[in-house]
Structure 1
Amino acid sequence: MSEITILNRVAIGDIVRRTAAKSPEKMAIISGEKRISYKDFNNDCNRFAHYLLDLGLEKGDTVATICGNSWQFLVAIFGIAKAGLVWVPLNPGVSFNEKSFILSEVQAKVLIGDEVFLQGKKEEFSSICPELLVIGSGALETEKFENTLKTNNTAEPEVNIGDRDIAQIMFTSGTTGTPKGVLINHQAVFIASLANIIEAGLEKKDIATLLMPVFHCAQHALVAAFFHLGVTVVIIQGFEPESLMKTVEKEKITWMFALPMMYRAFLYHPSFKKYNLSSLRYCLYAMAPMDRNTLEKGINELGCDFALGSGQTEMYPATCVFKPEDQLNKSGPYWGVPSIITDIAIMDENGILLGKKEVGEIVHRGPNVMAGYLNNPEETNRTRQFGWHHTGDLGYFDEDGLLVFVDRKKDMIKSGGENVASIQVEQVLISYPKVLNAVAVGLPHERWIEAVTAFVVLKPGEEATKEDIINHCKEHLGSFQVPKEVLIVSELPQTTTGKIQKHVLREKYQSLYSNHPV
């Protein structure tokens, strides 16, 4: 490898090489009965990088993926990085039209996909991408991903990679219905993942879950942190509470990352007491606050630390951590303290930074900020007004300097002349013992302008009326915050990363109060 390639380099692919050099026989990946050492993982990443370069791809070309979690997917991700190419992860759950738009927008040279996601659309995908690779062993007549790893060339690719070179284009999850391509450089991922080792209390001896989709920024940032440190990663296909308990017991998992609703399903499952879960020492959650009942049950019955991590694709996570020592000492939608690499401030609409307990937009600075939006300089500039990255989130710092999330600016409900934070209503809804998940939105109303409206999913086997839930809300909320209507539903529209799509509910139920005002 030439000097210019390695001198002062900050590159995602080097993470795996360095750990493999220190701990070659350490187990990197467990996937069912398959075990992959760091040495073998690094070699496979190099093999795949050479395959891509031998196709004639050049630094900066894009390689897209439509994949669920698998060891092959991890090889692809870090092989793409080693080759100096740009990874474009597509959410398998979006429509074909959205997939084809993204592939055309980024001019993908190669598409890697799980067989289950490519079936029935092979010809259409082939017409967009010159090269198609499939993960799986079925009947699709195309190059199998595993065949790319048969070469004996395991040398580190000689590619000159700069820290500000674009490493990834991740499209926003679409909670607003308008996904944008976020340009992320090597520096952002590399430094954020290093910070996560510290902020998430990781230890080299940890055995960690890979449960959340790795095409999402949060899980990917954690995977990079795991590989920095030499943690063993256990790939878990899909979420089923009892299956997860069995895996925790079998593999002696110590560190877990999941959504609050997953922890609720896990902790309140009838088989919870059947399994030895004593290996768990640290449970990270994200996307939403944890209700206090679940949090206390998790801390007391698992005997481990819980923490909340926050961030966004545009500001590679985690940017803020609500740490274990604060979990039961602070009540409410706390995001905690800034990570060691992130400046966080509260700003008003005129660019003035606000003091403690003053509500404004949460803004960031740090090496983990995006390079910009793909083909959208206007939106990029809008997010960088006054020299800070604008998150679109409202919040404030409390008297102890901990960040409190108020709401997304677009989700704040304006009802009868009052501002109602949807997250505050949601916390009360979820605290009702029979509720599994809930969301609050503002819907058009002739009298209230926007009526606070709740959508609730009950726990399996539980029964409750809307009057029960409204009465519970009246005990814990001000009169203007209590939902005008509660709709008990079987499920809520979500992205595959667990974010509830409030825009879908707003569109579907926008006429709810037209004929039956409350």
Structure 2
Amino acid sequence: MFMTQSLHRAVRVHPRKIATICGDRRHDYATFHERVVRLAGALRAAGVKAGDRVGILSLNSDRFVEFFFGTWWAGGVVNPCNIRWSASEIAYSLSDCDTRVLLIDDQFLPILPQLRAQAPCLGTVIHCSDGPTPDGLSSYESLIASSEPAEEIVRGGEDLAGVFYTGGTTGFPKGVMLPHRALYVNALALQAAYGDMSGMIGLHAAPMFYLADHDFLNTLALAGATHVTVPMFQPKAVAAIIEKERVTGALLVPTMLQMLVDAPTTREHDLSSITFLFYGGSPIAEAVIDRALPVMPNVRLLQAYGMTELGPVATILKPEYHTGPGRALGKIRSGGQPCVICDVRIVDEHGREVPRGTVGEIAVRGPGVMLGYWNKPEETAKALKEGWMHTGDAGYMDEDGFIFIADRLKDMIVTGGENVYSGEVENALARHPCVLQCAVIAIPDERWGELVHASIVCRPGTSVTLEEVQVHCKALIANYKIPRSLELLDSLPISATGKVMKNKLRERFWSGRDRRVG
């Protein structure tokens, strides 16, 4: 298994099919292949050897797709940088895995001097925007035009394909090492769950450094489908591009899906072409799904649960469980069943499997699991035990093999000796008509140890009180799970991958204490 296999097939089978769409640019697979092999030639000329890391710091574009395949064609290893991190965090990820070549666009040129200062390993920097190339940098398009096509260095199987950094909100980021087989089998798993994707026009609106979107990208490539890119997620722009290009498939995290369906401008566009929506990355409220279905009347929703260390998918909830009789079974509240490449079990603190219906830690094994964390053997040993990746997520498995995600173990609230999983409270809060977004955390309490605290963003023109929230929740969840305090916010702190950064919400409550949550 090697990641350029799909490109070889596409050029032989349908060279004139559109591969990438970015604004007014369209490249068929023959042109895409030519650009990839010339980019590989430029990387080889810059000193990239088999196994060397190549980074990219850029908004979404067709060049991002070319970066992946060009790096692999040259025998290199991709390091897609988190565009929401600080310059110091980005520099750490570059220097940690000795990334010597970096592609950068106009958006991030202002921090390049800081990156060079803090990541002295950086040598060649390639400017990959349409504007003028600054002095001292190489022009992406000039390199494509002038470089000789490179002979492929074929690496596959257990060979390292990418270092994907995770974390960055607490402590130092960890570089997750994923081999070719992990990325390849994850694409196979997604295609197996959905079916034939060869005719799909797929939209990259989530950040392309994000591994979930990367899995979507690899699946589209495997199917020989078309990639459409927008620079970043903006509801109006996403709705407009779906209508213009008749996009049929997309990957969105729940926060993005909610923003898209709730934006007033979305109703100005025809989203009926969407037949497949792949979502995941964090829990989703059923109310959001209910609002999404009328906006995208032909959509089939597919949820995936996983993490970067799994390459990234562990379980999949298929479309039939989102509507009709399947919805009535109640499986929509789950993360789905183990996908075709995974073995999943629920274990206790000693690694022993627990009975069905019992909450424990979710552990996963299979060919999608990482090789380990870059240069972090101790953390690798804690996560990987006898072939099983211990996710740090709490959940249970029902009698049908569906995994219900209770929470991140670190997000569990212990109040008066009772365990409260914040996801359950958030799902109840989301059903209140005034609640647009919400997050539940533990805050310290001298009597109970921890209390359930809710942070809520209200819908425009509405407000809600703690008493109203408590009355609403009392009908849905046990009394000890009901929020005991409330704050109304204009927005929640959101990470680059669309997840709520609960550590940011906790900071002011736990600062200065010996015992911290998170």
Category of TM-score, reference length = shorter chain: over 0.9
Q: Give the one of 59, 62, 65 matched to 1:74.
A: 65
1:363-512, aligned counterparts within 5 Å?
363-510=363-510
Q: Give the one of 311, 320, 324 matched to 1:325.
A: 320
CA deviations over 1:43-94 (Å, ceiling 9, x no partner): 1111111111122221111111111111112111211111111111111211
Q: Give the one of 149, 152, 156 matched to 1:154.
A: 149
1:257 is matched with: 251
CA deviations over 1:174-211 (Å, ceiling 9, x no partner): 35444211111111111111221122345211111111
1:7 is matched with: none
| CA–CA separation in structure 1 for the residues paired with 2:59 and 2:462 | 32
1:236 is matched with: 230
Q: Give the one of 185, 190, 194 matched to 2:184.
A: 190
1:7-406, aligned counterparts within 5 Å?
10-122=1-113, 124-125=115-116, 127-136=120-129, 137-138=131-132, 140-141=134-135, 142-151=137-146, 153-154=148-149, 157-303=151-297, 304-327=299-322, 328-329=327-328, 330=330, 333-406=333-406
Structure 1 residue 420 displacement after superposition: 0.3
For residues 433 and 98 of structure 1, do their structure 2 counterparts lie closer, same or farther at Cα, with a shift above 3 Å needed? same
For residues 128 and 115 of structure 1, do their structure 2 counterparts lie closer, same or farther at Cα, with a shift above 3 Å needed? farther
| CA–CA separation in structure 2 for the residues paired with 1:460 and 1:491 | 12
Structure 1 residue 152 displacement after superposition: 6.1
Question: What 5-or-longer segments of structure 1 have no aligned partner?
Answer: 1-9, 514-518
| CA–CA separation in structure 2 for the residues paired with 1:411 and 1:123 | 34
| CA–CA separation in structure 2 for the residues paired with 1:332 and 1:467 | 29
Contact 2:255 2:499 in 1 (8 A): no
| CA–CA separation in structure 2 for the residues paired with 1:175 and 1:54 | 36
- Name whichever of 218-227 and 165-174 sits farther off: 165-174
Q: Which amino acid aligns with 1:498?
A: G
| CA–CA separation in structure 2 for the residues paired with 1:272 and 1:377 | 47
SS in 2 for 1:265: helix
CA deviations over 1:239-296 (Å, ceiling 9, x no partner): 2223222221111111122122322232233344433222111222112333223323
| CA–CA separation in structure 2 for the residues paired with 1:289 and 1:104 | 33
Contact 2:87 2:114 in 1 (8 A): no
| CA–CA separation in structure 2 for the residues paired with 1:170 and 1:511 | 30
Structure 1 residue 123 displacement after superposition: 6.4
- Name whichever of 13-22 and 64-73 sits farther off: 13-22
CA deviations over 1:212-265 (Å, ceiling 9, x no partner): 111111000110110111111111222222322222111111112212232223
SS in 2 for 1:121: helix
Structure 1 residue 413 displacement after superposition: 0.6
For residues 480 and 202 of structure 1, do their structure 2 counterparts lie closer, same or farther at Cα, with a shift above 3 Å needed? farther
| CA–CA separation in structure 1 for the residues paired with 2:147 and 2:50 | 22
CA deviations over 1:454-501 (Å, ceiling 9, x no partner): 111123343333333233222222111111111111122221111111
| CA–CA separation in structure 2 for the residues paired with 1:291 and 1:493 | 18
| CA–CA separation in structure 2 for the residues paired with 1:326 and 1:246 | 29
| CA–CA separation in structure 2 for the residues paired with 1:152 and 1:134 | 15
- Name whichever of 296-305 and 102-111 sits farther off: 296-305
| CA–CA separation in structure 2 for the residues paired with 1:358 and 1:314 | 24
- Name whichever of 135-144 and 492-501 sits farther off: 135-144
For residues 501 and 438 of structure 1, do their structure 2 counterparts lie closer, same or farther at Cα, with a shift above 3 Å needed? same
Q: Which amino acid aligns with 1:87?
A: V
| CA–CA separation in structure 2 for the residues paired with 1:332 and 1:317 | 20
| CA–CA separation in structure 2 for the residues paired with 1:487 and 1:288 | 22
CA deviations over 1:17-48 (Å, ceiling 9, x no partner): 22122111111111111111111111111111
Structure 1 residue 342 displacement after superposition: 0.7
Provide the alpha-carbon RMSD of the alignment.
2.0
Structure 1 residue 354 displacement after superposition: 2.1
SS in 1 for 2:197: coil
Q: Normalising to structure 2: TM-score of the pair?
A: 0.92
For residues 511 and 389 of structure 1, do their structure 2 counterparts lie closer, same or farther at Cα, with a shift above 3 Å needed? closer
Q: Which amino acid aligns with 2:9?
A: R
SS in 2 for 1:335: coil
SS in 2 for 1:354: coil
| CA–CA separation in structure 1 for the residues paired with 2:288 and 2:114 | 47
For residues 504 and 294 of structure 1, do their structure 2 counterparts lie closer, same or farther at Cα, with a shift above 3 Å needed? closer
Q: What is the aligned length?
A: 503
CA deviations over 1:74-122 (Å, ceiling 9, x no partner): 1112111111111111112111111222222111111111122122533
1:5 is matched with: none
Q: Which amino acid aligns with 1:151?
A: S
Question: What 5-or-longer segments of structure 2 have no aligned partner?
Answer: 514-518
Contact 1:466 1:488 in 2 (8 A): no
For residues 469 and 140 of structure 1, do their structure 2 counterparts lie closer, same or farther at Cα, with a shift above 3 Å needed? farther
Q: Which amino acid aligns with 1:170?
A: F
- Name whichever of 30-39 and 298-307 sits farther off: 298-307
% identical equivalent positions: 33
For residues 244 and 123 of structure 1, do their structure 2 counterparts lie closer, same or farther at Cα, with a shift above 3 Å needed? closer
Q: Which amino acid aligns with 1:470?
A: Q
Q: Which amino acid aligns with 1:154?
A: P
| CA–CA separation in structure 2 for the residues paired with 1:350 and 1:432 | 39
For residues 162 and 281 of structure 1, do their structure 2 counterparts lie closer, same or farther at Cα, with a shift above 3 Å needed? closer
Contact 1:60 1:166 in 2 (8 A): yes
Structure 1 residue 124 displacement after superposition: 4.5
2:516 is matched with: none
Contact 2:212 2:281 in 1 (8 A): no
- Name whichever of 270-279 and 313-322 sits farther off: 270-279
CA deviations over 1:416-465 (Å, ceiling 9, x no partner): 11000011111112222222211111111111211111111123343333
| CA–CA separation in structure 1 for the residues paired with 2:394 and 2:169 | 17
